Structure 1
Amino acid sequence: MLVSQFDYELPPELIAQEAVEPRDHSRLMVIRRAGPSVTDHHFYDLPEFLRAGDLLVFNDTRVIPARLHGQKDGPDGARVEVFLLKECRAGHWECLVRPGKRLKVGAVIRFPGDMTGRVVESGAEGTRIIAFSGPSDFREWLRANGTTPLPPYITKPVADPERYQTVYGVHEGSVAAPTAGLHFTTRLLDQLRQAGIAFGYLTLNVGLGTFRPVQAETIEEHHMHSEIFTLPEELVAQIAATKQAGGRVIAVGTTVVRVLESQARGGPLQAGSGDTDIFIYPGFQFRVIDGLVTNFHLPKSTLLMLVSALAGRELILESYRHAVAEGYRFFSFGDATLIL
């Protein structure tokens, strides 16, 4: 299947540069697979489309301040930027670095707050493995000295970094937000609880691969990035009980879909922790989810392929054309869809 089959025209002015306030006042497109049909609403209307006994599954990760600025140790003293991707072992992080040519194995970087980084290995796709040494509490140091990264298509700074966090996130580790969750407010969550909607949580640390374009001409040639996840036993039991009672499992975000469907390949859903590089595209047989809350995704992206696998490529492209015509806002700070 050609990657070009998942392309669409998007006017640049529809790429959202800032979030709507309040969070739940973003727009919501409801895409019904049975029918099919596409209707326009607001996110605060979400309770109208769910029913008592349904289970919303959230990714409770938080974005770390992964962008660092330092100075190379040595005569040239070049200023460098380091972007943390993931901790591969204690004190060692896989990173993107700039300028890469100046940071070969053995290079030392000095950061504010008495932190030092040494490049110990060259990784895949131009990454570096950096060993950090300095203050004993690395996370505390990071909160004081790092900055929150934003996707490359957002050029306007965020005044409040918390606006790029979900209201329910608790586990730090992502370098990008699970953006479907940015629309939820505590008020809306309370309304959903009162309506008999159950909540479940898993953790997947979103990686930079989320934004990397697909370079291959065919889907089958693309190698998916991997991300670290934890799927608790409690959630597996919740899902089983929901389905037994006739309720629906609604994933909040594609990261939730990837964890649940990855852990159900080849048999019943299994709790656990590890890495997933599952690539979901049309032809995939979903075993766990019955619906999905998600944002609008980039042309020719793996996430657009995922939602096409769930709702059908033609219906998704038709709904995206409708969204463009109606002036919906796209990508991380944009509007949302609900696929049922």
Structure 2
Amino acid sequence: MVNDAATLPASLPGHAWIEGRAEAIELRLLGPVGVDEDRWRAVVFGGGDWREDTDERPAPPRLELGTNLVLAGGLGARVLERASASPRLIELAFDRAGASLYAALYSAGRPIQYSHLEQPEELWSFQTVFAGRPWAAEMPSAGRALSASLLGKLRAKGVLVERLTHAAGLSATGDPELDAQLPLPERYDIPARTVAAITAARARGARIIAVGTTVVRALEGAALEHGDGVLRPGPGETALVVTAATQLRVVDALLTGMHAPSESHYRLLRAFLPEALLERAWDAALGAGYRSHEFGDLALLVPG
């Protein structure tokens, strides 16, 4: 099961006009709020760029409601709401909508970059071969290794590759308190075909393998939406945080990137394997030279 969300050019440098002064900021878009897309959710960073570690970036100026933002490419926005969880987390309205807005984003925006890389990457580097709707703030990176050739070989061996769309969010916000709440609520859309394939696989005793933690969150969050644990097709939004205490109702195994114990994604891995085993696997992977981070190596976690 793969996440076919395409990665947005979600990084927008610019300025906030505060008391007549232009204060440098960077917006990292999380995506629209609701189906009308007239409001967007974003995390605000202070001045600087991707070469600085997220946790070492300057704090952003405090953006009051109504603050005007001038972003890359002349794109304008206005702050509509500031979350109680952190002044960095805001909702805003852009000065354009629809195709005009997306044209501006793809013209002026950049994909979110990572300080461990030697040079900035282009947007195409952050896309999987099955990417579709531009929903992801950061790349659902576990799917990056699945080339068209490899997918073809899997299908030839009888492996069904089905998809859903999940708006993968940010891996870091620069605010330790907000980081502790990651992942934030994220939207998903599960096709009827995917639910039918999962039901059929269950009936014949086959395993459901999630490619990436976003797939786990979408499927398990959707199964809990109606309180009965039954997976249904359609769109939704999940606030589920998967931990060691989570009872997995849909997913049997996970193909995932190498996540360090300090990362929010690591908590989700505890739903699949005991803590002691995860620690041994992490230490062994580091000792063998495996790579972590967004463009790193992968691990297959199979409980039992």
Range into which the TM-score falls when normalised by the shorter chain = 0.7 to 0.9
Maintained 8 Å contact 1:115/1:135: no
Q: Does 1:141 align with 2:107?
A: no
Q: Does 1:63 align with 2:7?
A: yes
Matched residue SS, 1:318: helix
- Distance in 1 separating the partners of 2:104 and 2:144: 26
- Distance in 2 separating the partners of 1:222 and 1:67: 21
Matched residue SS, 1:117: strand
RMSD: 2.4
**Aligned-partner residue type, residue 111 of structure 2:** T
**Aligned-partner residue type, residue 104 of structure 1:** E
| Structure with greater Cα Rg | 1
Q: Which residue in the other structure is 2:195 paired with?
A: 236
Maintained 8 Å contact 1:66/1:149: yes
Using a 3 Å threshold, how does the CA distance of structure 1 residues 95 and 284 change in structure 2: closer, same or farther? closer
Maintained 8 Å contact 2:208/2:251: yes
* Aligned pair partner of 1:110 in 70, 74, 86: 70
Superposed CA offset, 1:252-311 (max 9, x none): 011111111222233322223221121222232222122111011122333222212212
- Aligned 1:59-208 pairs, distance under 5 A: 59-73=3-17, 75-89=20-34, 90-99=37-46, 100-101=60-61, 103-124=63-84, 125-126=86-87, 127-134=89-96, 137-151=100-114, 153-208=115-170
Q: Which moved more, 1:98-107 or 1:241-250?
A: 98-107
* Aligned pair partner of 1:255 in 210, 214, 239: 214
Maintained 8 Å contact 2:7/2:123: no
* Aligned pair partner of 1:325 in 287, 290, 297: 287
**Aligned-partner residue type, residue 147 of structure 1:** R
**Aligned-partner residue type, residue 217 of structure 2:** R
Q: TM-score, normalised by structure 2?
A: 0.83
Superposed CA offset, 1:217-237 (max 9, x none): xxxx96752111111211110
Q: Which residue in the other structure is 2:57 paired with?
A: none
Matched residue SS, 1:316: helix
Residue 94 of structure 1: how far off its partner (Å): 1.8
- Aligned 1:296-335 pairs, distance under 5 A: 296-335=258-297
Matched residue SS, 2:218: helix
Maintained 8 Å contact 1:97/1:103: no
Identity over aligned pairs, percent: 29
Structure 2 unaligned segments of length 5 or more: list them. Answer: 47-59
Maintained 8 Å contact 1:261/1:286: yes
Q: TM-score, normalised by structure 1?
A: 0.75
**Aligned-partner residue type, residue 133 of structure 1:** D
Report how many residues are paired.
Answer: 278
Structure 1 unaligned segments of length 5 or more: list them. Answer: 1-56
Matched residue SS, 1:189: helix
